[in-house]
Amino acid sequence: MAVAVRSERLPQQPMVVRVTCTGCGFAKEWRTKGDGSVKDLPTPVPDQVCDHITGLALWLQTPCVCERLWAFNAEHLEFLRGAIGATLRERATFTGWDGAQHIDTYYGRIPAALPTWMKLAKHRDDVLAALDRLEKTLPA
Ligand SMILES: [Zn+2]
């Protein structure tokens, strides 16, 4: 697993992404243009979720309910677990056309930016299991 560190995003300044691997000694730097865009768009690894600047495949990714679940890092994993796990505690309800209360398939505390498939109640257990799988691949 290589680690990518990127420089602070300052206005009109190129952003530097430095990738290093302690396992094999791989080390490389990428630099964006001043507006944050990428000079030479990388060729992504087929069938993998890749970083848009380096083109390198993300370490944390796994198939999950016909989609790909991915995260940038351990903090991102924890964020996703908190967002999806929140559904176990708080179920949003809505009043249906018949006046009865129904449990929504989307829950109020899940951030809107997450993809729909991830937020569906029927996928919750699969998503949490996939997050566990990914966490186990991180070095201690
Ligand atoms: Zn390596």
C-alpha 54 to ligand 1 mean position (Å): 15
C-alpha 10 to ligand 1 mean position (Å): 29
**Distance (Å, whole) CA 50 – CA 30:** 14
The residue with greater pLDDT, 45 or 113, is: 45
Could you give the count of Cα atoms lying within 13 Å of 55 in the half-sphere of its Cβ?
14
In 3D, which of 63, 57, 59 has the Cα closest to residue 44?
A: 57
Q: Give the gyration radius of the chain's Cα atoms.
A: 19
Summarised one tens digit per residue, pLDDT across range 59-115 is: 999 999 999 999 999 999 988 998 887 754 455 566 667 777 665 554 445 566 788
**Distance (Å, whole) CA 59 – CA 71:** 8
C-alpha 58 to ligand 1 mean position (Å): 13
